[in-house]
Chain A
């Protein structure tokens, strides 16, 4: 089998139609998780098949595609997924955040602000925010229907009482449109504020768990937090990227023989910032 005899976007049209219908429902009900059939992909479950199916159902030959993993265009899995999508669509690939019309991501929201003509597709391992407190899917559905998030509040309370703050580091629960509580995928808390009021459409695809959900553009998204507690993001104060000098971005902590170093997690941001600096100099 070569990729020559595969249709545009890998899937047959019925599969795309089903995924598009799930996405439409997801957009109409912000933060609500919609089940879908989730075809098997030539890339393994847990490696971004949900995001991949969303992207392949959205993509047209006019799109410009950017794929990142941990904020990096060159990461193993990002390269692999990008190669696959390009091979079954022939679309143009880009690393420039502002040029991309579809950005598929794992674990990060790009530093560069997104715009209305962009869709951010998240790869999601655990779509159900309630899993940690209630593993039974029937009960979860009931709890969402009743807007019953008491167990999450209790978890938050217990953590705050024992450890001074929630122990959740990534995948911090968010309230979407003042209704459903949603798992934002394993992005760091640093990226949570970017979800709210974002001009781009944000779609979340969980392939293994067979769920799709969405945050439509300009939707209110708040971290689940007691009103008298501040939502603290990862702290990089006093640190800057050693390559481009950026501050106020998410920094990767790199341990080398000569000590700890910090670099931008978002490689596009790092490259452009470096270029601007050189241009100015």
Chain B
């Protein structure tokens, strides 16, 4: 019988941490460059879900966590809490992106063209190479090929024709979920921020419910774009407008069904919007589907479905929260569990006495 055994023991924790670090010792030799360039989609997820655009810290986080991307995003978020805010940059107009890839599945051809860019969409996912001529030829693409392309959204002509429903902007300035948390009814800007910081898999799962049958029938990707956005900032001392850098982003506009517009009864298409740091098409598309379902209830089948319910989306897509809470069940719960057992015993006794 030992009393000490039921305590956690600071010593044991220290060993456990050391053990964990020593298991990941090999990660130390992976360079920032290898991670930022070679595992760029991993870094992009960490920046996006960590809600801070920082390639080097994303790389550092991936090394520290042995490639556990949820944990890595968690490191970035925690770091974010220590950063003093200097001010707000100008809003990014994704029509102005320097395009690396832009496609529209709504139209065969579009102004500016279908720009496939780098994509794994058409890659045959086999570990061994196919015996085709593809592999023997020199690569078709060279980095120097990238021209400086800016194209407007493929949905612009439809907007000009008044065939796209425009949401009323009911907000003076965007909500900031990092400075206060919204109460229902949730401002759209707050919901969009929460989704932009959300976990790819969670957004995908909720978005997928809508695509499969618990919501909007069939979304069409109006404009999906990946590219670089310049960040413009008003210099705090000189007051001049300056470019402070550029970030790689993904943006997506998804077209849903049409309905009489509550504004004037005219038939218009509903469009949802998705946006995230880095290149992550799955996340941007999923987010746009969720925005579509939530912002245009009248346009989607099953307005009460999961994807159309901000209560579900707002509280369940953030992985820092869901992962943390899920793992907290590993903490000791013996006081509450013992209280549970007493209640069970009392209820059983009550049951037996009848």
Contacts and interface: CB of A to CB of B under 8 A. Distances in A.
Nearest to A73: B7
A136 B181 CA distance: 16
A279 interface: no
Interface residues of B, number: 56
Contact of B179 (A37, A107, A234): A37
Interface string B1-16: 1010011111001000
Contacts of B331: 47, 69, 76-77, 106
Main secondary structure of the interface of A (DSSP, over half): loop
Given A40-B320, A141-B183, A254 B6 contact: yes
Given A41-B78, A170-B335, A125 B346 contact: no
Interface in B195-240: none
A58 to B, nearest CB: 17
Interface stretch (A4-12, A146-154, A216-224): A4-12
A252 B338 contact: yes
Contact of A80 (B13, B75, B324, B350): B13
B81 A141 contact: no
B339 A42 contact: no
A158 interface: no
B127 interface: no
Interface stretch (A23-31, A175-183, A259-267): A259-267
Contacts of A167: 343, 347
Nearest to A165: B346
A90 interface: no
A194 interface: no
A46 B328 contact: yes
A190 B334 CA distance: 14
A49 interface: yes
Interface stretch (B82-90, B109-117, B162-170, B242-250): B82-90
Which bracket fits the contact residues of A? 35 or more
Contact of B82 (A12, A74, A187): A12
A137 B327 CA distance: 24
Contacts of B347: 163-165, 167
Interface string B336-351: 1011111100110011
Nearest to B311: A136
A235 B311 CA distance: 40
9 contacts: A12-B83, A36-B180, A38-B181, A39-B178, A46-B327, A72-B8, A76-B332, A208-B321, A265-B335
Interface of B: 1, 3, 6-10, 13, 74-75, 77-85, 177-185, 311, 315, 320-329, 331-336, 338-343, 346-347, 350-351
Given A45-B321, A125-B328, 8 more contacts: A40-B80, A44-B327, A77-B8, A107-B335, A188-B335, A188-B336, A190-B339, A208-B321
